[in-house]
Amino acid sequence: MIEFINLEKEYKSKDKTVHALKNINLKINKGEIFGIVGYSGAGKSSLLRCVNYLEPPTSGQVIVDGQDLTQLTEKQIREVKRNIGMVFQHFNLLNSKTVYANVAMPLILAKKPKERIRERVIELLEFVGLADNLNDYPDQLSGGQKQRVGIARALATQPSILLCDEATSALDPQTTSSILQLLKKINEEYKITILMITHEMSVVSEICDRVAVMESGKIIEVGTVFEVFSKPKTETARKFVSTVMNDQFPPSIKEILKEGNRSKSIYQIRFFGQQTESPLISQVAKKFNVDITILFGNVTELQGQSFGNLIIEFIGDDIEIQRAINYLNHQQIHLKEVTSHAS
């Protein structure tokens, strides 16, 4: 559906050259909700703008629906772009136009018949829950309602791809959740491929199928949401995951690590899926001559999967503790020793 091959993008000025995208290779499958996450300046928006060719790449290929945009004429690119809808962070609505007129605008520009325009606009406003607001103006709407208008407008020409550029970052958490559920509904009912750019891992965790993590113009990690959340491979991914998983060490744990009279056999355990329901800790305590103290713990629900996080302390003979640790290392969990430098 969307593929980037050896993609590079540079921005040149008199003083310097900014290498915004570096050797991007990524494939987004038809029907996916795909998230791209990264901090400001990571290259997320540049990558998104290459999909709808607002930014032509410096080199490499951008393939959309089997067509390499770098090999097309301007007219052919316009044809491809008709199948791509765009949802913006700050809505980009025409304040002097009604809700109806804003949604109708792409159809008017496409010179569709008036009756067909009305039929399509009414259908979309009902779909996004704004059937009673068609004669309102943007200034009369809440932020969430404005974004629903923006989404309806993006869907007007029946695109096969929807690009969302920080579509929820200007909204409060409750409104964000409702907009994300609307996007999920669009994906499921209209079978539209959605590419989401965000700096919020909570957005990714709620509706995305797969995610790519960007840093300094490169993709440093890619996988299913479950893969990236359960076993992040890079420090940047781990930091993003921590914002959702709440696995940062509490101040009380840091104080314990500083104490000189503690055994310091402190470990972090992460459980996934059905493992969160297993009485593994009690089994280990019974199997080996050790006491286990749970210092901290929580369980997070992620797209129907449970993620458990525990910080435990082993108390007992060093040999028995090591036997218990060896046993745990052979289970389907993630075990990591916690040191005084933990953060």
Give the confidence band of 293 by pLDDT, cuts at 50, 70, 90: confident
Q: Is the pLDDT of residue 65 over 60?
A: yes
Q: Is the pLDDT of residue 262 over 60?
A: no
* Whole-angstrom distance, CA of residue 83 vs CA of residue 67: 12
**Domain parsing of the chain, residue ranges:** 2-242, 246-337
Phi then psi for residue 38, to 5 deg, are 175, 165
As its CATH architecture, domain 246-337 has 2-Layer Sandwich (3.30)
Pick the CATH number of 2-242 from 3.65.10.10, 3.50.50.60, 3.40.50.300, 3.20.20.150: 3.40.50.300
What would the pLDDT profile of 98-108 be if each residue is shown by its tens digit? Answer: 999 999 999 99
* Whole-angstrom distance, CA of residue 61 vs CA of residue 7: 6
> Residues of 5-22 as b/e, b for ≥16 C-beta within 10 angstroms?
bebebeeeeeeeeeebbe
Q: Is the pLDDT of residue 260 over 70?
A: no
Q: Is the pLDDT of residue 274 over 80?
A: no
* Whole-angstrom distance, CA of residue 267 vs CA of residue 202: 26
Q: Is the pLDDT of residue 231 over 90?
A: no
What would the pLDDT profile of 37-61 be if each residue is shown by its tens digit? Answer: 999 999 999 999 999 999 999 999 9
Work out the end-to-end distance of the chain between its first and last CA atoms, rounded to an integer number of angstroms: 40
